[in-house]
Amino acid sequence: MTLKKWAIVLCSLSILFPYMTYGQESSGGFNRQGGPSSLTLDEVISKVEERYKGADFSARFYQVSTLKAVEITDTAKGRIFVKYPGMMRWEYETPEKQIILTDGKRLWIYRPGENQVMMGKAPSFFGDGKGAGFLSDIKRVRQYFDAANEKKDKNENYVIKLLPKKEMAGVSEIYLTVDRNRFEVVQIITHNIYKDETRIELSRLRFEQKLDSALFRFNIPDGVDVLQLEEPNR
């Protein structure tokens, strides 16, 4: 596998997530105390929790991943499926097909073009809300992160900065953009201590469905090379 391909896999796992386009933010933000036309930070998070509470959903995603030290930037797009609690399936369509899949306990990364599947323990990569793991259990936002520096973007959507309550491998801060009307997460931006970034934009979210648990289990095809993922330092 080339350096660029490994870079994109690593960015995806660290997420997976995230580019904050600071130039698009407005100077005004929603505040903790609230106001005549604003919600408090706690109210916004509560509305997000209510929207995602126990819900399965699917969406389209567009991802931009950057490894700053080696100046590699790549884009990808595909579909995501999420089932409460802890199950996620990322189907990458471009630039090449791959599937990142977890049933909440196990993790698989299947790259058919490489005839290869990488396996690991899901909590090592998605636990504590890493890897956008909070999408499958939104309570993890309050459980593992402190919210700070809340703002609004140019569309008046809420932007919330999340800081890990304790040291978290691969994550120094996360920015969530929350739709101001539907209270759905439409963008996730993740930075690590090396200033690497992943931006994931979510669109065409669908909550009116019940996803089959079988969608989140992976049967390894015959003849595929199986590699064990090394667990990240916590």
Continuous H helices in 86-130: 122-126
| pLDDT higher than 90, residue 4 | no
User: Which domains are present in the chain?
Assistant: 3-16+39-222 (2.50.20.10)
Q: Answer yes or no: is pLDDT of 65 > 90.
A: yes
DSSP-based three-state secondary structure for 157: coil
If one compares 195 and 19, the residue with the highest pLDDT of the two is 195
pLDDT tens column, 144-173: 899 976 678 999 999 999 999 988 777 899
Identify the pLDDT of residue 26. 35
**pLDDT tens digits, residue range 18-33?**
322 222 333 345 654 4
Please tell me the pTM assigned to this model: 0.80
Q: What is the distance between the alpha carbons of residues 42 and 77, in angstroms, rounded to a whole number?
A: 32
CA distance 16 to 11: 6
Q: Are strands 197-206 and 185-191 parallel, antiparallel or unpaired?
A: antiparallel
Q: pLDDT confidence of 127, banded at 50, 70, 90? A: low
30: its two tokens = 């929603």
Average pLDDT over residues 194-202: 93
pLDDT in tens, 183-193: 999 999 999 98
What is the mean pLDDT of the segment spanning 214-218? 94
- Residue among 184, 158, 161, 164 nearest 53 (CA): 184
